[in-house]
Amino acid sequence: MSTGVKRHLSNASTKRQKNDTKKAKISIIQGDTQQKSRTPGLVLTFGQGDVGQLGLGPDIQERGRPTLVKALENVVDICAGGMHTVCLNKDGNVYTFGCDDEGALGREATDENSFEPGQVVLPGSVVQVTAGDSHSAALLEDGRVFAWGSFRDSHGAMGLTAQGKEKRPIQLLSDKVVTKIASGADHLVMLTNDGQLYTCGCAEQGQLGRVSDRFASRESRQGLSHLLLPGRILFNKRFKYHFVDVWATSYCTFAKEKTKGIFAFGLNNYNQLGLLNEKPQFHPVVSKTFDLSKNWKKITGGQHHTLALEENGKVYVLGRKEYGRLGLGKDCGDAKELTLVPTLSSEECIDIACGSSVSFAVTKTGVCYAWGMGSNCQLGMGDDDSDIFEPSKIQGKQLEGKNVHLVSAGGQHTVILVQPSIPNGSL
């Protein structure tokens, strides 16, 4: 396993790599359980934009309602990081905007051009993008992973590799074909085409799933490189686990195993893993609150809560109640097991997202619901900064005649992908 940009393969392994790549393409595009919109759309943003994360130029510091990012067209994937945004267009090109202090934009950024979308140069067509607090990552159609920026822990910036932060994309896990990636606030998870999980970044809350509490700090005798170099999560040899999907929340990781259900690890101080002990979980265990009979389509989460989307469009919540982030009403308690969101029970949802203390859901009919902490305009409710305790529709002039297809929430801003509404009776 190496972090070099180039891969050196023999003729035989090159042939094998090409065969694996074909499989990877099929898995990424056809088997994508995140409901990525492959029909190109437009990007709208709202919330705080003081460092350019809205992509609306240096003169716009805040937006209370969804506002069109005019510089972007034909976008198929979006991801909001802590204070930056990453977008992918139909041609496989990546665009970033926002804070570049730790290199999260992956391109030449100035005070002026960081407030508007700029292209990241990558050596191939991209099929998925992710973003954390200070890092970004891209999965190429051939199964290669590139990342840039930096991870952080309780001591400050960790760097992305042993050399420090990376201002430009660098390849990770160069000897594997990856089919999906997931970013937490400060960790990255990679699912390979043979069903294995690799992780790197901060391990302090257990989110890497391969580093014990004893060695989770950079000051342990295993040092920083053990955390930053992608490593495989190992299980007892008698268990032949094959993972088919993976998701990351701020400080947690969830992985779907072919027959055993949902494995979880990371921060659990508000039972956001669905485990009752309220202690960090440093190695993957099955979270039994995720019913094995249900087909879990997507799992996402903020600092202390988790959202889960079932294949049938039902939305469930787990974790801390404060500020209304669970959407269960003003008088609810913390949710120690997955709980259906009643306001959305009659809706079929196709996407969900979380910020630190906010939550979102998108319905099949193109409506985006928001709930949680009302500060920072992140809920898209205009000048109203009240906390919202049950899902409420996001409305706005620039949403008229458009359907929302995807949503992503960052530190203090939100990004949505929209497409024109189809008139009744049209095909």
* Least trusted range by pLDDT, from 5-19, 81-95, 402-416: 5-19
Token pair of 299 as six digits: 């799992």
Burial class (CB in 10 A: 0-12, 13-18, 19+), 18: exposed
Q: Which residue has the higher pLDDT, 29 or 329?
A: 329
Q: In the prediction, which pLDDT does 400 show?
A: 97
Q: How far is CA 338 from CA 18, 187, 206, 209, in A?
A: 41, 24, 21, 22
Average pLDDT over residues 105-133: 97
Contact of 284 with 273, CB cutoff 8 Å: no
Distance of alpha carbon 354 from alpha carbon 360, whole angstroms: 6
Tell me, yes or no, whether 20 lies in a domain. Answer: no
Distance of alpha carbon 132 from alpha carbon 249, whole angstroms: 10
| Three-state secondary-structure class, residue 226 | helix
Distance of alpha carbon 383 from alpha carbon 97, whole angstroms: 25
Distance of alpha carbon 245 from alpha carbon 241, whole angstroms: 12
Q: In the prediction, which pLDDT does 11 show?
A: 37
Q: Give the sign of the dihedral formed by CA 238, CA 235, CA 178, CA 53.
A: positive
Measure the CA dihedral 270/271/277/280, to 10°: -80
Tell me, yes or no, whether 28 lies in a domain. Answer: no
Tell me, yes or no, whether 378 lies in a domain. Answer: yes
Q: In the prediction, which pLDDT does 219 show?
A: 73
| Structural domain harbouring 304 | 34-420
Q: Give the sign of the dihedral formed by CA 191, CA 30, CA 92, CA 117.
A: negative
Cα 216 off chain centre by = 22
Contact of 80 with 46, CB cutoff 8 Å: no
Distance of alpha carbon 364 from alpha carbon 171, whole angstroms: 36
| Number of C-beta neighbours around residue 194 at 10 A | 12
Contact of 362 with 307, CB cutoff 8 Å: no
Tell me, yes or no, whether 255 lies in a domain. Answer: yes
Of 172, 199, 339, 182, the residue nearest 250 (C-alpha): 182
Q: What is the pLDDT of residues 153-193, one digit of tens each?
A: 999 999 999 999 999 999 999 999 999 999 999 999 999 99
CATH of the domain at 362: 2.130.10.30
Cα 8 off chain centre by = 31
Q: In the prediction, which pLDDT does 37 show?
A: 58
Token pair of 251 as six digits: 């400080």
| β-strands 413-420, 402-409 pairing | antiparallel
Q: Give the sign of the dihedral formed by CA 133, CA 139, CA 143, CA 146.
A: negative
- The phi and psi torsions of 16 (rounded to 5 degrees) equal -65, -40
Tell me, yes or no, whether 5 lies in a domain. Answer: no
Q: What is the pLDDT of residues 340-358, one digit of tens each?
A: 999 999 999 999 999 999 9
Average pLDDT over residues 278-307: 98
Looking at residue 214, the DSSP 8-state letter turns out to be G
Count of domains forming the chain: 1
Q: What is the pLDDT of residues 354-395, one digit of tens each?
A: 999 999 999 999 999 999 999 999 999 999 999 999 999 999
Looking at residue 193, the DSSP 8-state letter turns out to be T
- The phi and psi torsions of 17 (rounded to 5 degrees) equal -60, -40
The model's confidence at residue 33, banded by pLDDT at 50, 70 and 90, is very low
Average pLDDT, the chain: 91
Tell me, yes or no, whether 280 lies in a domain. Answer: yes
Looking at residue 11, the DSSP 8-state letter turns out to be H
Token pair of 46 as six digits: 């709202």
The model carries a pTM of 0.91
Tell me, yes or no, whether 11 lies in a domain. Answer: no
Return the beta strands (E) in 187-290 as ranges. 187-192, 197-201, 231-232, 243-248, 252-257, 261-266, 281-286
Sheet holding 315-319, edge to edge: 296-301, 305-310, 315-319, 335-340
Cα 394 off chain centre by = 21
Of 329, 274, 283, the residue nearest 305 (C-alpha): 274
Tell me, yes or no, whether 410 lies in a domain. Answer: yes
Q: In the prediction, which pLDDT does 25 show?
A: 54
